[in-house]
Structure 1
Amino acid sequence: MIREQMKIAKLYDLTHTLAADYLAQYEFPWDALQGISDFLIQLGSSLDENGYEKRGENVWVHKTAKVAPTAFLNGPVIVCRDAEVRHCAFIRGSALIGEGAVVGNSTELKNVILFDKVQVPHYNYVGDSILGFKAHMGAGSITSNVKSDKLLVNIHAADGEIETGRKKVGALIGDNVEVGCGSILNPGTVIGRWSNIYPLSSVRGCVDPDSIYKRQGEVVAKTV
């Protein structure tokens, strides 16, 4: 994947998130990770009180959303219309959970933007990441957001390395991406729209849009 394909405009349809204006300020999605917390606090204070109720410090939940009594929400958090936060979900903070999104049993979120209809429904960890419209992570798949050597994360574009300047970068996942069960998305992974990741994959680097990732070095274009 070349850096041009990694731009926010190439990965995401911004009509499917309350973060549209915020993300539109940036060219690349990893640059937006730093300001998610402040953005959510500002956005939350402007939400329609007829639609959203405040359930704690910087925690706003739409009145149509379903939040299990065993779920933990630490602000700033916004849970949008018709979203579902299931049993024992752990929202550590700085999370936008889009309209109709599903955050499942024992899933943990930290510093993330989930677009509308995103599903992270079973034992997922999603940190320092942005997931596009209708992206789905299979059971047990996670985003790894810190390198084992603790160095700053670089994005491995086909046309050169891109320095993020950040120690923590998870995955930047485009619209309609399917991540198979038990997969690990290593720090700084970028996955283009409409791509599929095989179960039990360890993805390092970037995956072109409309691709099928089978294993490292074996990525094929979709034919349909």
Structure 2
Amino acid sequence: MWEELTIEKNYDLTQTIAADIFAGATYPWEVLSAIGSFIKKLGEQLDSDVYKRIGEDVWIAKSASVAPTAYIGGPAIIGKEAEIRHGAYIRGNAIVGEGAVVGNSTELKNVILFNKVQVPHYNYVGDSVLGYKAHMGAGAITSNVKSDKTLVTISKQGEKLETGLKKMGAMLGDNVEIGCNSVLNPGTVIGKGSHVYPLSMVRGFVPAGAIYKKQGEVAKLNE
């Protein structure tokens, strides 16, 4: 087991309505295939005084702010006091946490956003899990399919961990900061509290508490 990549090391499960989906899983990407069915089951249990069901399999907290130009396809849950801004495109299988921001021209597909996540400007987030208060700068995206369509592996110090997945974007731990116009390649895992410089192309594992400057140049934060 690669302990640094585990759910336990990178995510505060008290900061998501989806905590139960992680039960029995070791790594965060293990839950990706279950997001849609989990939302349908959880949605039926939500308090109707707090959440309103919109159409088929879409539950939106009454305290959330949703722009009339946003699109939300099910299954989806939009948490309390979340903000879905103008032109946001939520394609389905999406959990948007409490107080999270999904912004202009941002697209989500098969994702879990923990509470207070911000993807506010021109982001694509697919087949990914973003931890508490993770933030993606303008134009930063997750790439979730390899160009040769082979299964995604995760690189760590010359070793590779097989995921068995054809589609996997990025796993961002709590309080991760992604700089503007960065690309997170398939199989990117960034440990909690780490920062990525703008215009970066990231692949593989970035340890917790680090700053990613460029490929091969990763330092401890504040060094």
Same fold (TM over 0.5): yes
| Matched length | 223
Contact 1:3–1:159 at 8 Å: present in 2 too? no
Partner of 2:78: 79
> One-letter code of the match for 2:57?
N
Contact 1:70/1:87 (8 A) holds in 2: yes
Partner of 1:183: 182
Paired position in structure 2 for 1:171? 170
1:70 corresponding residue in structure 2: 69
Shift of 1:49: 0.3
Deviation for aligned residue 1:199: 0.2
Deviation string 1:16-74 (CA, Å, 9 cap, x unpaired) is 00111111221111111010000000000110000000111000000000000100010
Q: Does 1:100 align with 2:117?
A: no
Per-residue displacement from partner, 1:135-168 (whole Å, max 9, x unpaired)? 0000000000000111000111337321111100
Between the aligned partners of 1:17 and 1:48, the Cα distance in structure 2 is 16
- Structure 2 CA distance, aligned partners of 1:213 and 1:160? 19
Residues 118-197 of structure 1 aligned to structure 2 (within 5 Å): 118-158=117-157, 160-197=159-196
1-structure distance, mates of 2:203, 2:145: 13
**8 Å CA contact retained: 1:3, 1:157:** no
SS at match of 2:45: coil
- Runs of 4+ deviating beyond 2 Å: 157-160
Residue of structure 1 equivalent to 2:204: 205
CA distance in 2, matches of 1:6, 1:105: 31
Aligned counterparts of 1:223 and 1:59: Cα–Cα separation in 2: 42
Aligned-partner SS, 2:151? coil
TM-score, scaled relative to structure 2:
0.98
Q: Which runs of 5+ in 2 are unaligned?
A: none
Tell me the residue number matched to 1:110: 109
Matched, 1:60 2:59: yes
Q: Describe the superposition over 1:191-211 as per-residue Cα deviations: whole angstroms up to 9, x where unpaired.
A: 001100000000011100000
Q: Distance in 1 between matches of 2:24 and 2:180?
A: 33
- Provide structure 1 residue ranges, at least 5 long, that are not aligned to the other structure: none
Cross-structure match for 2:215: 216
- Aligned AA (1:216): Q
More moved, 156-165 vs 88-97: 156-165
Residue 12 of structure 1 corresponds to: 11
- 1:3·1:158 contact (CA, 8 Å) conserved in 2? no
Shift of residue 108, structure 1, vs aligned partner: 0.1
Counterpart CA distance in 2 for 1:221 and 1:74 is 40
Map Cα deviations across residues 103-124 of structure 1 (whole Å, 9 max, x no partner).
Answer: 0001000000000000000000
CA-atom RMSD in angstroms: 1.1
3-state SS, counterpart of residue 165 of structure 2: coil
Partner Cα distance (1:222, 1:200) in 2: 18
